[in-house]
Amino acid sequence: GIGLDTSRELVKRDLKNLVILDRIDNPAVIAELKAINPKVTVTFYPYDVTVPLAETTKLLKTIFAQLKTVDVLINGAGILDDHQIERTIAVNFTGLVNTTTAILDFWDKRKGGPGGVICNIGSVTGFNAIYQVPVYSASKAAVVSFTQSIAKLANVTGVTAFTVNPGITKITLVHKFNSWLDVETRVAEKLLEHPTQTTLACAQNFVKAIELNKNGAI
């Protein structure tokens, strides 16, 4: 979905490294990304954002030892299933907080770090809730609020942050999902009645936002 198309757009740029952390190991995708621009070193590490903070920090130690410097962290994991209340919050918000907290160990200028940039994937539901999926919507509102705080701490930590908040995008996520307490049986169908965008259009704008790199931007 959005993550893959964004990766395709990123490797077209003048990157040195792209590191992908995901639950799903897909060698064909990694090979495709390497082929797009052989000058970019693409690496994959298995990772689930719901693991405890200590595990995230351990993985980042491995990555920083390998690369020495990391400039940008993109928090892009997300699920849309209000039947899975705890997992929705864990993936969409808690995991994002943990990866941010963990990378601060390496970036925080108070610890001699170089600073860095955090790009968090929110959603338009963070401002205008889809009431049939209140858990998902609230998790995205939390992302926006948390990111605004990180941005305002940039003078303390040296770490800037912003959110990219896509509208309805044509991905598997929105084709079929469960509403909270089954309050709406046609929520996916109703959602897709609104204007949508492709994952490619979303990804291209996503990369533009990273290039603009405006602290606190929404």
Please give the Cα distance from 82 to 89 (Å, whole number).
10
Whether 151 and 161 have beta carbons less than 8 Å apart is answered as yes
SS3 state of residue 51: coil
* pTM for this model (two decimals): 0.91
β-sheet with 116-121: strand ranges across: 72-75, 116-121, 159-164
pLDDT digits (tens, 9 = 90+) for 143-177: 999 999 999 999 999 999 999 999 888 766 555 67
The answer to whether 136 is a known catalytic residue is yes
User: What domains can you pick out in the chain, each with its CATH number?
Assistant: 2-212 (3.40.50.720)
Torsion angle defined by CA atoms of residues 199, 119, 72 and 197, in that order, rounded to the nearest 10 degrees:
10
Q: Which of these is catalytic: 45, 47, 131, 136?
A: 136
Check whether 194 has a pLDDT greater than 80: no
Does residue 187 contact residue 179 with C-beta atoms inside 8 Å? yes
